[in-house]
């Protein structure tokens, strides 16, 4: 599933209304997801190195920009990971409002962070969200919504719903939509294992995008037909809306599904994100203690603990603000990846590429234009949000600038930690 599936999409309707929300959900993956998946498909098939995206940028543009890619990805992950405990609490409080009072929700979110950090350090294997059966279980409530809605055409026009506190507008809804369509890079890393990748891979990605888009659009279209007002939607509202449509059992199903989805995504991503500081420490980009491993599980426990502290510090920022910062910083790292794609096409035209973005050098450059144009909306949005007495944009720029400072400090303190390009140390991913 992409960014946890249908859970967390509610504010798109609140900000844009039904018609425009459905249009956004249909167009965004074509401009945002497919170009990103194709770019990462080429780079991962040509350079299947440990460290992935920052290894590609280092090879294309050198140590400085490689470090910035790693820094931006790591900082963006701090805000991205804080989103999932926030969603966990949003669905929990729909069933048990008591947790919403006196800051109890923050403690619940913190408990999710601590529990997943401990599970990962201990090496406990939790069922992955890639499991087909778990995917079906999490999708079942939304299938029920699509099936039941035609029996209540116009029946919820005057439905009384819980007053919402969402301030998300159409621009915020677009950014949440972009967040919900992140994660395609996970599928693109298997481009080398696909038979006839130049033909099969684009078709497979188009089909996958279509399936995911339908999984988002159909439940909203079904609820639109019931006459429910768009102002009834906010983060976690699927639970109450499912209750109006199918009664308490469907409401419970959505609540449990939302909590399991958020917990499972967070737990799985702890392992993924914690390997970035580990790889950076091994390459001399971070102090060596970030590379320390737990003796039995071999988990990078120092990296996990350090990241968990960062995630905990961001828990109170709120869903919409976290998404804005995540997209802003992730977008900066994505820009470097698209630049690496074009630079490598120019500098290393003979590099073996089992999958290639079509269109030659022009195609490699042009494919990055639509995602970068969409990212301009995150800049506009972040200028109108406040965090710690400054705009989210200013805060994001400070974090980006900190990467420049960190590079020069690190290079000054440990210049021997950098080799020319680290090609000799890079190993193919098993």
CA-CA distance, 6 to 180, in Å (whole number)?
A: 8
Hey, is 83 helix, strand or coil? helix
Structural element, H or E, at residue 48: none
C-alpha distances out from residue 45 to 42, 188, 190, Å: 5, 9, 8
Beta-bridge partners for 387: 390
Averaged pLDDT for residues 231-242: 89
Hey, is 1 helix, strand or coil? coil
What local confidence, expressed as pLDDT, does residue 421 receive? Answer: 43
Residues 80/176, Cβ–Cβ less than 8 Å? no
The predicted-structure confidence for 345-383, as pLDDT tens digits, reads as follows 999 999 988 888 988 899 999 999 999 999 888 888 887
The predicted-structure confidence for 248-297, as pLDDT tens digits, reads as follows 999 999 999 889 888 888 888 888 788 778 877 877 777 888 888 888 88
CA-CA distance, 278 to 274, in Å (whole number)?
A: 7
The predicted-structure confidence for 222-235, as pLDDT tens digits, reads as follows 999 999 998 889 88
Span between the terminal Cα atoms of the chain, in Å: 23
**Residue 148, pLDDT above cutoff 90:** yes
The predicted-structure confidence for 384-430, as pLDDT tens digits, reads as follows 777 878 888 889 999 999 999 988 887 777 655 454 444 444 443 33
């Amino acid at each position: 599933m992409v960014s946890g599936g249908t859970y967390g999409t509610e504010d798109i309707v609140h900000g844009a209304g039904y018609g425009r929300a459905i249009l956004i959900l249909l167009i965004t993956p074509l401009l945002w997801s497919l170009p990103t998946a194709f770019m990462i498909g080429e780079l991962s098939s040509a350079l299947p190195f440990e460290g992935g995206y920052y290894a590609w940028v280092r090879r294309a543009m050198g140590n400085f920009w490689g470090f910035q890619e790693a820094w931006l990805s790591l900082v963006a992950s701090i805000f991205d990971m804080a989103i999932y405990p926030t969603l966990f609490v949003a669905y929990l409080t729909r069933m048990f409002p008591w947790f919403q009072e006196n800051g109890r929700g923050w403690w619940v979110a913190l408990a999710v962070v601590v529990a997943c950090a401990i599970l990962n350090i201990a090496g406990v294997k939790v069922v992955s969200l890639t499991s087909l059966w778990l995917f079906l279980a999490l999708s079942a409530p939304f299938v029920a919504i699509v099936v039941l809605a035609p029996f209540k055409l116009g029946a919820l026009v005057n439905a009384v719903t819980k007053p919402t506190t969402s301030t998300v507008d159409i621009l915020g809804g677009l950014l949440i939509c972009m967040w919900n369509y992140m994660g395609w890079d996970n599928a693109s890393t298997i481009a080398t294992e696909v038979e006839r990748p130049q033909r099969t891979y684009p078709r497979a990605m188009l089909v996958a995008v279509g399936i995911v888009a339908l999984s988002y659009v159909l439940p909203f279209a079904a609820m639109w037909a019931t006459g429910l007002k768009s102002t009834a939607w906010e983060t976690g509202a699927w639970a109450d809306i499912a209750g109006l449509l199918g009664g308490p059992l469907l409401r419970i199903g959505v609540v449990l599904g939302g909590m399991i989805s958020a917990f499972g995504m967070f737990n799985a991503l702890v392992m993924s994100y914690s390997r970035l500081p580990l790889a950076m420490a091994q390459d001399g980009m971070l102090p060596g203690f970030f590379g320390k491993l737990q003796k039995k599980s071999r988990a990078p426990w120092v990296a996990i603990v350090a990241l968990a502290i960062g995630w905990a510090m961001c828990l109170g920022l709120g869903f919409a603000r976290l998404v804005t910062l995540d997209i802003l910083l992730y977008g900066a790292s994505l820009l470097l990846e698209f630049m690496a794609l074009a630079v490598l096409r120019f500098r290393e035209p003979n590099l073996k590429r089992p999958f290639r973005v079509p269109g030659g050098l022009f195609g490699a450059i042009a494919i990055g234009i639509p995602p970068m144009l969409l990212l301009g909306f995150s800049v506009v949005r972040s200028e109108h949000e406040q965090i710690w007495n400054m705009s989210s944009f200013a805060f994001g720029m400070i974090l980006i600038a900190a990467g420049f400072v960190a590079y020069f400090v690190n290079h000054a303190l440990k210049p021997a930690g950098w080799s020319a390009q680290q090609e000799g140390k890079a190993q193919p991913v098993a």
